[in-house]
A and B are shown apart, each in its own frame.
Chain A
């Protein structure tokens, strides 16, 4: 692969998924796209780039984009965002949505499903307090491959041990050979959908809680700011956003404000997005 071909590939990935690859990530491209080449019976990365440039194979384009995503995730990852959900957010919205009894949650980069399923299990654990409530969890990702795995709900022994308490494993999973499948009851609580964050997502409607963790780290500052602004627009006036443990919005956008009391939790900056008066009227 020549320098020019690598550049073309970087530009393609950035345009298609927002992935911002620095020039020193050649090794990453080479290690991740080798399997795409063999799957599509393409001789080399140079040929792959030529094929993509020709615009002849959308299947190849899609496979290339997906192969370059990092899908690392696990149940109750970092713990704190889930403690926060259980101890702070759920009580808050149970109170503030008591009239409508509706709660809408969005996992904006759900990968293989561990994040939305962790939330679904916590909701199930709180079922006694939520009789008559209508709760929606929308879980989206750009990779259809991870979405398929998420929907099927099968995890191997390694995956069910990483972060998932054994108590919840025996309660919500069935052992199938050397795999574990999450129960139909939990699966039915999550609506998995294909969604590319660089495209418009306003049609999803309004959310009370958004988890957008460990995906914006792959975007450049301008795209990060754009996505965060559009996420803020999908949030209810008193909505909550959770980012990854290492992520910050400092200097990126002022549409959101860090909640001083809770690490990783952001709320809409008052006055931004929906007008303030409307916000208090809705509340």
Chain B
């Protein structure tokens, strides 16, 4: 089973995201900021990371650059999930090694379609 790490300072968002990714058959762990997220990655490198941008202690962008600076840190698919919806943020995130970018609010349909695009899911639709 694929392992997903959710890095977000909002407990509510973590809970909602957890429900969505669990329903997509991921095992989930959580971290409330980038620093805790890096420690979690050192303990066990996840396959997928849902990453918030603005967080206290260490933000998502710093987390991502530190993660991608290590060889093991190349493994996870990183999807930013943030309220930052300016094209400049998206470009910066992609250049820093994010695989995808989701602007909040999002729902299961959006996340599932993104993960499908990244080859982490396969589910056709009808209608």
Listed in ascending order, the chain A residues whose CB lies under 8 Å from chain B are 70, 72, 74, 76-80, 157-158, 161-163, 165-167, 169-170, 175, 214, 217, 244-246
Separation of A257 and B2 alpha carbons in the complex (Å): 38
Q: Is the CB of A244 within 8 A of B126?
A: yes
**Cβ-defined contact, A246 with B126, below 8 A:** yes
Q: What are 7 inter-chain pairs, A to B, with CB distance below 8 A? A: A79-B117, A162-B113, A163-B113, A165-B100, A166-B90, A170-B90, A244-B126
Query: What DSSP secondary structure best describes chain A's contact surface?
Result: loop
Binding site for A on B (CB under 8 A): 85-87, 90-91, 93-94, 98, 100-103, 106, 109-110, 113-114, 116-117, 124-127
Residue of B nearest to A174 (CB): B87
A158 to B104, CA, bound (A): 9
The answer to whether A162 and B126 have CB atoms under 8 Å apart is no
Nearest B residue to A244 by beta-carbon distance? B126
Known A-B contacts: A72-B127, A165-B100. Give 12 more (CB < 8 A). Answer: A157-B103, A162-B109, A162-B110, A163-B114, A163-B116, A166-B93, A166-B101, A167-B94, A169-B101, A170-B91, A217-B127, A245-B124
Residues in B with CB closer than 8 Å to A217 are: 126-127
Are B113 and A74 interface neighbours, CB within 8 A? yes
Residues B127 and A175 in contact, CB atoms below 8 Å apart: no
Which listed residue, A162, A169, A214, A244, touches B90 by the CB 8 Å rule?
A: A169
Q: Which residue of A lies closest to B101 (CB)?
A: A166
Q: Is the CB of B90 within 8 A of A158?
A: no
**Set of chain B residues within 8 Å of A162, measured between Cβ atoms:** 109-110, 113
> In the bound complex, what is the Cα–Cα distance between A264 and B33 (angstroms)?
44
**Which of chain B's residues has its CB closest to A247's CB?**
B126
- Inside 8 A of B90's CB, which chain A residues have their CB? 166, 169-170
Cβ contact within 8 Å between A161 and B124: no
Q: How far is the CA of A47 from the CA of B93 in the complex (A)?
A: 56
Highest count of chain A CB atoms <10 Å: which of B86, B93, B110:
B110
Specify which chain A residues have a CB less than 8 angstroms from the CB of B87 in the assembled complex: 170, 175
* A80 partner residues in chain B, CB cutoff 8 A: 124
Q: Is the Cβ of A170 less than 8 Å from the Cβ of B94?
A: yes
Closest 4 CB pairs of A and B: A245-B124, A166-B101, A246-B126, A163-B113
Q: Report B-chain residues with C-beta under 8 Å of the C-beta of A158.
A: 110
Q: Min CB distance, B124 to chain A, in Å?
A: 3
Complex interface: chain B residues within 8 A of A76 (CB): 117
Q: Determine the distance from Cα of A160 to Cα of B124 in the docked complex, in whole angstroms.
A: 19
Asked whether A70 lies within 8 Å of B110 as measured between CB atoms, the reply is no
A116, chain B: closest CB distance, angstroms: 18
B125 touches A245 (CB 8 A): yes
Known contacts being A79-B117, A170-B91, is A161 close to B125, with CB within 8 Å? no
Tell me which residues across on chain A come within 8 A of B100, comparing CB atoms: 165-166
CA of A74 to CA of B127, assembled, Å: 11
A245 to chain B: closest residue by CB: B124
- Please, which residues of chain A bring their CB within 8 A of the CB of B114? 161, 163
Nearest CB in chain A to that of B87: its residue: A175
Taking a contact as CB atoms under 8 Å apart, the answer to whether B125 and A77 are in contact is: yes
Closest chain B CB from A253 CB (angstroms): 20
Q: Is the CB of A161 within 8 A of B106?
A: yes
Residues on the B chain within 8 Å of A167, using CB: 94
